[in-house]
Amino acid sequence: MARVAVIGAGVVGLSTAINIQECMLGSRVDLVADKFNQDTTSVGAAAWIVPWAPGVNEALQKKWGRTSMDYFIKLAVSEDSADSGASIGMGIHYATGPQTPPFKHLMLSFDPMSKESAEKLNLGKFYCYTGTTVVVDMSIYLHWLMARFKARGGIVLQRKVTSFQEFEGEYDVVVNCAGLGAKALTGDDKLQPMRGQMMRVAAPWVKHYLHCSDSVHFLPNVENTAIGGIKSVGDSDTSVRLDTSEHLWESITKLWPPLQKAKILWEWTGLRPYRVPPRVEAEVIRYGDKSLKVVHNYGHGSFGISMSWGTAVHAAELVKDMVKPTSRL
């Protein structure tokens, strides 16, 4: 029986742990983390599935993107939709110039909107597109993933990991899904914080999303609507900044006046683990005459939810390969 430890209980860690359980039946999979559910960065995300990540080669983009998109669509149209928080969402994408986003072919639909229609929506100065994809309420989805992991016999251990060496001799493979915490474990200089700040509002009359890759946006979830769009690389401040709050509110209500009467419920900040490209690879770490097999899966940035299942499947495949007697590593 293979023994595998997964470090990190955000969406990437949970997805990876479940995929290891599924492809390595009978294995012991432990989830080791110091933060869970509401304390993770994943829970704050306004999650629509647009599977793409910067710096990734075309073959991996297709592998990760298609795997993630197919998984989330299947989940959103299944009986597990309500329990998982995944559903089909439709909305508007806007940009200052013509767009052919790299994830276009993976979405259920992505079609240009006429200039006349955009003007009727007070979006005439933008290039607009209608889109259909999957939206995920992360406050529900993380709990659903955790329940799924435990139901398959997964073991949860709460502690802070300071070195991979803690696992030497106890596990066959360790999977590093520590997010931004991977920097302390690996010394990876490419990994940086990407600060996000959001507000959650009560706006039950809003049924669609409004998305922009580099500006403000909003996304209805089950019990509230998320307003965000802040992606500040290298910024590790986790306080709620008043000037950012004012920018978000003034910008989104000017762009979409129906939100002007929304009630602000709370605000949130989080640090996404940003790396170009995200790191999904196997490594053997030497400790004198001893060694530890490690699979890394971190650095997804603002595409963490979208790419989570695709990179998790890939990481699980690497784990399975590492425990084979013929593994080259």
pLDDT tens digits for range 29-39: 999 999 999 99
Q: Tell me: pLDDT of 324 over 90.
A: no
Residue 168 has pLDDT above 60, yes or no: yes
Task: Tokens 């106890």: give the residue.
Answer: 170
Q: Alpha-carbon distance 319 to 329, whole Å?
A: 11
Interstrand relation of 192-202 and 127-137 (parallel, antiparallel or unpaired): unpaired
164 contacts 202 by C-beta, under 8 angstroms: no
Residues of the chain with pLDDT > 70, as a percent, come to: 98
**End-to-end CA separation in angstroms for the chain:** 19
| Mean pLDDT confidence for 190-200 | 98
Query: pLDDT-based confidence at 326, cuts 50/70/90?
Result: low
Q: What is the distance between the alpha carbons of residues 243 and 217, in angstroms, rounded to a whole number? A: 17
Around Cβ 98, how many Cβ atoms within 10 Å? Answer: 8
6-47 pLDDT tens trace: 999 999 999 999 999 999 999 999 999 999 999 999 999 989
* Helix (H) or strand (E) run with residue 115 in it: helix 115-120
Choose between 99 and 189: higher pLDDT: 189
pLDDT of 247 higher than 70: yes
pLDDT given for residue 148 in this prediction: 98
| pLDDT over 50 (residue 327) | no
Q: Which amino acid is at 65?
A: G
User: Comparing 325 with 135, which gets the higher pLDDT?
Assistant: 135
Strands 127-137 and 46-48: antiparallel
User: How many C-beta neighbours within 10 Å does residue 20 have?
Assistant: 27
pLDDT at 318: 98
User: Which residue, 52, 73, 56, is CA-closest to 211?
Assistant: 52
Measure the CA–CA gap between 58 and 103, rounded to whole angstroms: 11
What is the Rg, in whole angstroms, of the alpha carbon atoms belonging to the chain? 20
Helix (H) or strand (E) segment spanning residue 75: helix 58-76
Which tokens belong to 302? Answer: 């603002």
Considering the chain, what is the average pLDDT of its residues? Answer: 96
Q: What is the mean pLDDT of residues 50-68?
A: 94
Cβ–Cβ < 8 Å for 175, 55: no
The answer to whether 182 and 298 are in contact (CB under 8 A) is yes
Give me the pLDDT at residue 227, please.
98
Q: Tens digit of pLDDT for each residue in 82-122?
A: 999 999 999 999 999 998 888 899 999 999 999 999 999 99
Would you say residue 176 has pLDDT above 80?
yes
What is the token pair recorded at 131? 């889109």
Separation CA 283–CA 132 (nearest Å): 38
* Burial class, 325, CB count within 10 angstroms (exposed 0-12 / middle 13-18 / buried 19+): exposed
Cα 118 to its chain centre, rounded Å, is: 30
The C-alpha angle 31, 67, 11, rounded to 5 degrees, equals: 30
Residue with tokens 């170009």: 276
Would you state the pLDDT for residue 214? 84
